[in-house]
Amino acid sequence: MARMKFLCDSERCIECNGCVTACKNEHEVPWGVNRRRVVTLEDGVPGERSISVACMHCTDAPCAAVCPVDCFYTTDDGIVLHDKDLCIGCGYCFYACPFGAPQYPQKEAFGVRGKMDKCTFCAGGPEGKDNSDEERQKYGRNRVAEGKLPLCAEMCATKALLAGDGDMVADIYRERVTKRSGRPQSWGWLTAYQEDV
Amino acid sequence: MSARVMLKAGSLAVLALLATGCGRATDVTVYEPGVYKGPKDPLVKMHATAEHKALLKERFTKGQTDR
């Protein structure tokens, strides 16, 4: 069975932040929330690496395990989505997520959290009809329903970020590693999917 | 006399009220923990079809494979 996965090839990521911009623009993500961001390790020193991070849509999602109102569900292809109408903004998922994916809009006073927001793999949420106005407003555009894949990966200039069927993603990455004769560094895969490339 | 009757009626009413608290409600909704309770996402059904999976695979091959 196909299983949707993200993979960021740190050898190829040039920290252009194109994925971050694409995501924010496509889904009109509110201020203070970044569904995707680029993290740079060893910045400015030889061996510097950048990785594009967002919700990895984990196999055994810890966010779903700790949610007290069970607002998470997983599609047939392993995309982890949530219902903003059920979310109470408790923040448990934020603490449970190993990737820091869940974010909260900071609109209210006294640190009151709004509804949690995270990457949807461009698959929207449980809002009546796919790509309805309500769905767009709450979760952003539903590209998967249109037969498309996440925009962050589709517009990555260096093809560092891959998103799609896990087996196909792994095949591409393995081929790259073989060509450049290095060790595979599929960052986050072991944590998210309990398996390496 | 009427005060006695009223007192009796009052105490009966209080007893009746207290007795209702001892009953067991039968229409309680018991949810299974860990089970999503929100509305169904139409995408889930569409996403499970072979045509949709093939469409996404084709999209991946066109856009993300190395040339």
Q: What is the pLDDT of residues A3-36, one digit of tens each?
A: 899 999 999 999 999 999 999 999 999 888 999 9
Coil/strand/helix, residue A76:
coil
Q: State yes or no: pLDDT of B17 exceeds 80.
A: no
What share of chain A has pLDDT > 70, as a percent?
A: 96
In this complex, do B47 and A75 lie within 8 Å of one another by their Cβ atoms?
Answer: yes
At B3, is the pLDDT very low, low, confident or very high (cuts 50, 70, 90)? confident
Interface list for chain A against chain B, based on CB atoms closer than 8 Å? 2, 64-65, 69-73, 75-77, 79, 81, 83, 85-86, 123-130, 142, 144-145, 147-149, 153-154, 159, 162-165, 168, 172, 175-176
pTM equals 0.83
In this complex, do A162 and B35 lie within 8 Å of one another by their Cβ atoms?
Answer: no
Distance from CA of B25 to the nearest CA of A (A): 23
| A96 against A181, higher pLDDT | A96
Mutate to test the interface with A, among B35, B51, B60, B62 (most CBs of A within 10 A): B60
**3.10.580.10, 3.40.50.720, 3.40.640.10, 3.30.70.20: CATH of A4-193:** 3.30.70.20
Contacts of A145 (CB under 8 A, 6+ apart): A123, A124, A130, A131, B42, B43, B46
Q: What is the pLDDT of residue A108?
A: 67
Q: Using CA atoms, how far apart are residues A128 and A108, in angstroms rounded to an integer?
A: 28
In this complex, do B64 and A75 lie within 8 Å of one another by their Cβ atoms?
Answer: no
Query: What are residue A163's phi and psi, to 5 degrees?
Result: -140, 125
What integer best gives the mean pLDDT of chain A?
91
Shortest CA distance to A165 belongs to which of A7, A3, A8?
A: A3
Q: Which of B44, B59, B61 sits opposite A76 (nearest CB)?
A: B44
Q: Read off the pLDDT of residues A71-110 as tens digits, 9 standing for 90 and up.
A: 999 998 999 999 999 999 999 999 999 999 999 987 666 6
Indicate the residue type of A193: Y
Q: State yes or no: pLDDT of A139 exceeds 80.
A: yes
| A3 against A1, higher pLDDT | A3
Distance from CA of A190 to the nearest CA of B (A): 22
* Least reliable range by pLDDT among A56-65, A78-87, A147-156, B20-29: B20-29
Q: State yes or no: pLDDT of B21 exceeds 80.
A: no
Indicate the residue type of A59: T
Q: Using CA atoms, how far apart are residues B34 and A150, in angstroms rounded to an integer?
A: 28
Taking the domains of chain A in order of start, what are their residue ranges? Answer: 4-193
- Helix, strand counts (H, E) of chain B: 3, 0
In this complex, do B46 and A145 lie within 8 Å of one another by their Cβ atoms?
Answer: yes
In this complex, do A85 and B48 lie within 8 Å of one another by their Cβ atoms?
Answer: no
In this complex, do A159 and B60 lie within 8 Å of one another by their Cβ atoms?
Answer: no
In this complex, do B64 and A76 lie within 8 Å of one another by their Cβ atoms?
Answer: no
Distance from CA of B37 to the nearest CA of A (A): 7
